[in-house]
């Protein structure tokens, strides 16, 4: 097992229709407005941004995200990641009743020297930290979809 490689999958049930969810998720530069753990997203060009995020652990991760796929018809958004994490992340949205099933998948290798140094003993903590970040994202997105001013940091 490579202790520096992670595979994550989160499934969110959202009350809004898939096209509305896609419209929010495709605007990554606005994630810090509704996702508390996404501290900053800075566009570099039309397909590239840098992002800084932190969950419970007092440690920022910085990545460069390059758009690989943005397909509003299939409702798929995918980015390549480099920096403190190297790999990819993808949103896949589907209709579920009156709402949306949002599946977030991520496969990364940790490049951050500190996280690599603590790869074995820190792995459960890093996974829990990620789970808390995803919980914050789900809550923030649900509030954002309810209406302006609903998402809180």
Burial level of 141, CB count in 10 A (0-12/13-18/19+)? Answer: buried
97-128 residues labelled b (16+ CB within 10 A) or e (exposed): eebbbbebebbbebbbeebeeeeeebbeebee
**Residue 145: predicted pLDDT:** 97
Kindly list the averaged pLDDT for each block of 10 residues, start to end, along the chain of length 153.
Answer: 94 97 97 98 97 94 98 98 98 96 98 92 95 97 81 42
Looking at residue 15, its pLDDT comes to: 97
Q: What integer pLDDT is reported at residue 97 of this predicted model?
A: 93
User: Can you give the pLDDT at residue 148?
Assistant: 62
Please report the pLDDT score of residue 152 as a whole number: 41
Instruction: Name all domains of the chain by residue range, CATH numbers in brackets.
Output: 5-146 (3.30.530.20)
């Amino acid at each position: 097992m490579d202790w520096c490689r992670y595979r994550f999958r989160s499934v969110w049930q959202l009350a809004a229709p898939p096209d509305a969810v896609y419209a929010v998720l495709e605007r990554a530069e606005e994630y810090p407005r509704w996702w508390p753990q996404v501290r900053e997203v800075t566009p570099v060009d039309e397909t590239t941004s840098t992002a800084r995020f932190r969950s419970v652990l007092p440690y920022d991760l910085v990545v460069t995200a390059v758009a690989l796929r943005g397909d509003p018809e299939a409702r798929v958004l995918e980015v390549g990641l480099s920096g403190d994490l190297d790999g990819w992340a993808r949103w896949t949205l589907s209709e579920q009743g009156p709402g949306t099933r949002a599946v977030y998948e991520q496969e990364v290798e940790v490049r951050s020297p500190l996280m690599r140094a603590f790869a074995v003993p820190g792995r459960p903590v890093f996974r829990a930290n990620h789970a808390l970040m995803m919980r914050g994202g789900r809550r923030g997105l649900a509030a954002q979809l309810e209406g302006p001013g609903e998402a809180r940091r």
